[in-house]
Amino acid sequence: MGMQVILLQLLLCAVLAQGQICQTSAICMVGKIWTPMFKVVPQRSDFFPKLTSSVTSTGSSSGSTDPCVRPTTNCEVAVGGGYRYEFVSELSTWNAANEVCESRGASLPQAAFQGNSAAFSALKSVMDCRGDYQGYWVPASDRMNEGQWKWRSGQPLTNQDKQNWQGGQPDNSGEQDCAYAGRWSGYKWDDGDCAGFWSVVCESNI
């Protein structure tokens, strides 16, 4: 990725953050993609209603000082319901999130949101693992046809799938076409900007 692209992403982040502070601490390789490691610091209490100012992660930390090496914890991988879940990225766009999972032979979490409660419990334990990440991408979008939500695989969302939405969502506020699960709602979904930045857990069959 060239510097111009990185600068563009910085600009995008600044625009999309809308009142939050956008910082980049390092340019790191995520999967095969050079990615700025943004730290979006929420300032709007209405956007992150349950965010606390000092949240520490659970589990043991590796204590690395390399900005491209996340402190690892013993709760970033979990297995349940026939699926394996692994935390792989702090902040990615929806496209990059799908690509980083697919490059690992996995996908963003889908089975966990389709009634597989053991899978959801495993996914939740990974999403809860690091308390400072507030949202996680879901492989569903309505980018092709507004209001026609589909899984990344192309399958339309069923009525049961749609029970994942938070109350009042999806609202397409300001053009929102990609789904993410918000910690503050118990990981119910909101539609967000596909170029926004949320965290990434990958799902794979075991």
- Pick from 18, 50, 162, 171: which binds Ca ion (CB under 5 A)? 171
The answer to the question of residue 142 lying near Ca ion (CB under 5 A) is yes
- Pick from 90, 177, 193, 203: which binds Ca ion (CB under 5 A)? 177
Number of residues that bind Ca ion (CB under 5 A): 9
- Pick from 76, 90, 161, 191: which binds Ca ion (CB under 5 A)? 191
The answer to the question of residue 164 lying near Ca ion (CB under 5 A) is no
The answer to the question of residue 141 lying near Ca ion (CB under 5 A) is no
**Cβ-based nearer residue to Ca ion, 2 or 167:** 167
Measured at the CA of 43, the angle between CA 62 and CA 180, to 5 degrees, comes to: 70
Long-range CB contacts for residues 148-154, cutoff 8 Å, separation at least 24: 149/179, 151/110, 152/98, 152/107, 152/108, 152/110, 153/110
C-beta atoms surrounding 30 within 10 Å: 21
* Residue 27: exposure state from Cβ atoms within 10 A (0-12, 13-18, ≥19): middle
**Total number of residues shown for the chain:** 206
The answer to the question of residue 193 lying near Ca ion (CB under 5 A) is no
**Cβ-based nearer residue to Ca ion, 9 or 141:** 141
* Residue 86: exposure state from Cβ atoms within 10 A (0-12, 13-18, ≥19): middle
Stretch that binds Ca ion, among 19-27, 70-78, 94-102, 184-192 (CB under 5 A): 184-192
**Cβ-based nearer residue to Ca ion, 2 or 147:** 147
Q: How far is the CB of 172 from Ca ion (least distance, A)?
A: 4
- Pick from 161, 190, 193, 203: which binds Ca ion (CB under 5 A)? 190
Let me know: does 110 contact 151? Beta carbons within 8 Å: yes
